[in-house]
């Protein structure tokens, strides 16, 4: 059963990339609106944060239903989150900044939401690297403490998303509410 769920997770998380590949290969110009590079960047970031929220919600559900043997599924979701985040950051650096690292430094000063996005990305990178079985084993109990930073990454990513959209639409509001719910559950659990 675990194998089936893992397959469904990988299939579900790869669907947006399949659609993206189809849209790019087919030359469907309407798929990305008036500013295709910005839409592509937002599309990749949106998928990263949606899967990130799904990872936390799955953990809450599994704990509530006492199905802890399925918590391993969260690892697959976490790696997909990191994959989409890498694509999101890469698209931003390539399409918006033409890979100019100095320009990125200037943009960080002008756009504070980039600082939050960078914090979230660095935490995700740390979590992805330490999810390697050999590092997880070497870190022992410290691994769990290290991965608690994921809650900071979630908060930073949700605020980054809200600020980057620059308009009050339903998606950032829903993501923000879900992130607040996840953080509230965590705070209640810690009491």
DSSP 150-175: HHHHHHHHHHHHHHHH-S--HHHHHH
Neighbours of 170 (CB within 10 A): 7
SS3 content of the chain, % helix, strand, coil (to 5): 85, 0, 15
> In this structure, what DSSP letter does residue 116 have?
H
Least confident range from 29-33, 110-114, 141-145, 168-172: namely 29-33
- Count the domains in the chain: 1
Tokens for 119, please give them: 């914090």
Residue 82 pLDDT greater than 90, yes or no: yes
CA 7 to chain centre: 19
pLDDT, tens digit, for every residue of 87-112?
999 999 999 888 888 898 888 888 88
Tokens for 177, please give them: 């509410």
pLDDT, tens digit, for every residue of 135-158?
888 888 888 888 889 999 999 999
Residue 29 pLDDT greater than 80, yes or no: no
Least confident range from 50-59, 105-114, 119-128, 148-157: namely 105-114
Residue 34 pLDDT greater than 80, yes or no: no
Domain carrying residue 181: 2-190
Rounded distance between C-alpha atoms, residue 41 and residue 89, angstroms: 8
pTM of the predicted model as reported, rounded to 2 decimal places: 0.92
Residue 30: predicted pLDDT = 76
Residue 77 pLDDT greater than 90, yes or no: yes
């Amino acid at each position: 059963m675990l194998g089936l769920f893992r397959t469904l997770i990988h299939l579900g998380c790869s669907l947006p990339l399949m659609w993206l590949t189809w849209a790019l290969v087919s030359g469907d110009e309407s798929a990305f609106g008036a500013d295709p590079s910005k839409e592509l960047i937002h599309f990749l970031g949106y998928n990263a944060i949606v899967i990130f929220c799904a990872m936390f919600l799955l953990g809450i559900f599994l704990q509530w239903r006492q199905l802890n043997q399925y918590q391993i599924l969260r690892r697959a979701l976490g790696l997909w989150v990191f994959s989409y985040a890498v694509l999101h950051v890469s698209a931003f650096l390539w399409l918006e900044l033409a890979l100019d690292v100095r320009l990125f430094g200037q943009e960080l000063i002008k756009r504070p939401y980039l600082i939050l996005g960078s914090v979230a990305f660095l935490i995700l990178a740390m979590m992805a690297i330490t999810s390697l079985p050999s590092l997880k084993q070497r870190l022992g109990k410290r691994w769990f403490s290290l991965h608690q930073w994921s809650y900071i990454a979630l908060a930073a990513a949700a605020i980054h998303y809200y600020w980057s959209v620059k308009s009050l639409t339903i998606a950032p509001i829903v993501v923000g509410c879900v992130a607040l719910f996840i953080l509230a559950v965590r705070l209640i659990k810690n009491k």
